[in-house]
Structure 1
Amino acid sequence: MIQALPGLRVISCLGAGFDGIDVSAARARGVEVATTSCALAADVADVAMGLIIATARAFVGADRFVREGGWARERYPLGRSLGGASMGIVGLGNIGSAIARRASAFDIQVAYTARRQVEGAPWTYFAELAELARWSRFLVLCCPGGRETYRLIGENILSALGTDGILINVARGSVVDEAALAQAIAVGAIAGAGLDVFEDEPKPHPALLASPRVTLLPHIGSATVETRQKMAQAMVDALVSALEVD
């Protein structure tokens, strides 16, 4: 498409990632590429924290337990505390940094991995993803999608996360090998998962749908009235800036 548009000057994407854009081809042509990641970072970070709390404390199951009358018969199983827990963040961009700041307010220990150490970031840096996973109780994905991160989280990383670990994905479904995740949860290789994105949306792996240890959302990270308005404006602003329109 880029080749078919000789007058193309800017690509402005209504979203956080570049994974739907051939950035190399655009840059080779001198075409500016912009996203709206700054506008949506706060709401996506809120959803990530919501998934962490909901999964660690099994809120969805607890709601069902009350509605179905279980409370009158027995006590609900214990959850896991957030305070003092360790959180590893994969990708410390706008969203990852916003999650880290929120996690600190919950007294969660934060570390991260990224393509390179982020200058000035106050959190511990791990050069190796597997080492970060071993350190983490919560492993939070907010890295870009695309070829470089395709199925970055597979059996080996899930094994490193371990039986007390919880995987949180607010990045792209393509970052996780969903069949491997479903198997890890089924056999208790990890404790659970909170997912807002999936490999084949809107069709999560059937085993994830069946598991009570998985919290599932329909890709709603940026889905608020306020943020969608900000995203639309940011998209227009990028066009206006690149085209130098008054």
Structure 2
Amino acid sequence: MAPRFDIDLLMPVPMMPFVMDQLDQAFRVHKPWLAPDRDALLRQVAPDVRAIAAGGGAVLTADLMGRLPRLECVSSFGVGYDSIDATWAGAHGIVVTNTPDVLTEEVADTALALTLMTVRRLPQAERYLRAGSWLDKSFPLTPTLRGRTAGILGLGRIGKAIAHRLAACGLPVHYHGRHRQDDVDLPYHATPVDLAAAVDVLVVVTPGGAGTRHLVDAGVLAALGPDGILINIARGSVVDETALVAALRDGTILGAGLDVFADEPRVPQALLDLDNAVLLPHVGSATTHTRRAMGQLVVDNLLAWAEGRPVLTPVAETPAKG
């Protein structure tokens, strides 16, 4: 059966079956991972490709997009898009979309759970029980969430949802971002160091990319202090992992809860060896419900573009056009 649109679409990496099924029905989809020679396939289809469906793990550089002279639309799976050169795309009239909002609540839930797990040492307590140690004596008393102040580094959609949850737990919430938000009635701090010095739970929610690489460095960790907890559900690149390992080892901070890492899925052995680090395999939005909603938004953005309608969720760097 012929596709609905006379349009060539590149899918650099596999996506969820229901996404691929819908795109196969709508477009001529080129799947390099199935080709005997990926580069040869790309050279063959490059003159005709007008759209890209970018699944998780797809890296779209200016060089790659520049090899596709008819490229008009990139629909990306995920709220973060630091693996796509959206600035270059926008400058060349290519619209890039992501999947915000549909994962906000799920990621915020994960951030709250990770905060509780880290402060109360709940994974360590479960391992203690499974090892049979409870038969000998009770698990040691832990720190508490009570009396703490939380800081949100990056108060966007997800950051605000996390702030709402932490406030419901009785924590005062402060924030830092590129700009003070006039409609936000929370204490603002001009730098990450200032924010860390004012709080003892620091939740990292800022986008990844070159502009935020190692934003949380040794100085921020020192300001967070020996009772401080770092939670990162943003991007691994935002935190200097070497400085974090050192801070956890020497007591500069109390603990860390991490859902993201600099070189996923490879996690440094130095982090794996630390008992005061709670580590999750990037599961912030990883529920069937949310991932299906994200996948459907990838499809819906491409269909809107193909039909000449404005795309639903363009990123800030690119034009919102059909």
> TM-score under structure 2 normalisation?
0.74
The question of 1:148 aligning with 2:211 is answered: yes
Is 1:219 aligned to 2:288, yes or no? no
**Structure 2 gaps, min length 5:** 1-63, 310-322
CA contact (8 A) 2:158 2:205 kept: yes
Distance 1:117 1:198 in 2: 28
- Report SS of the residue matched to 1:39: coil
1:64-111 per-position Cα deviation (integer Å, ceiling 9, x unaligned): 111222222223222222233111111111111111111111111111
Give the counterpart letter for 1:243 in structure 2: A
Partner Cα distance (1:186, 1:147) in 2: 27
Larger Rg over CA atoms: 2
What do the CA deviations read for 1:2-46 (whole angstroms, capped 9, x no partner)? Answer: 222222222111011120111111111121111112111111111
Distance 1:6 1:159 in 2: 49
**Partner of residue 190 from structure 1, selected from 241, 249, 253:** 253
Following superposition, the deviation at residue 245 of structure 1 comes to 5.3
Misfit runs of 4+, over 6 Å: none
Percent of matched pairs sharing the same residue: 44
- Once superposed, what is the RMSD of the aligned Cα atoms? 1.4
- Aligned counterpart, 2:176: 113
When normalised by structure 1's length, the TM-score is: 0.96
The match for 1:25 is: 88
SS at match of 1:134: helix
Aligned counterpart for 1:92 among listed residues 152, 155, 158: 155
2: CA distance, partners of 1:56 / 1:2: 44
SS in 1 for 2:150: strand
* 8 Å Cα contact 2:192/2:215 also seen in 1: no
d(CA) in 2 for partners of 1:59, 1:179: 25
Task: Identify the match of residue 295 of structure 2 among 223, 229, 232.
Answer: 232
- Paired amino acid for 1:91: G
| 1:13 and 2:85 aligned | no
Matches of 2:243 and 2:291, distance apart in 1: 33
2:263 pairs, out of 189, 193, 200, with: 200
Q: Distance in 2 between matches of 1:93 and 1:171?
A: 11
Output the CA distance in 2 between the equivalents of 1:175 and 1:212.
22
Q: Whose RCO is larger (CA < 8 A, sep 6+)?
A: 1
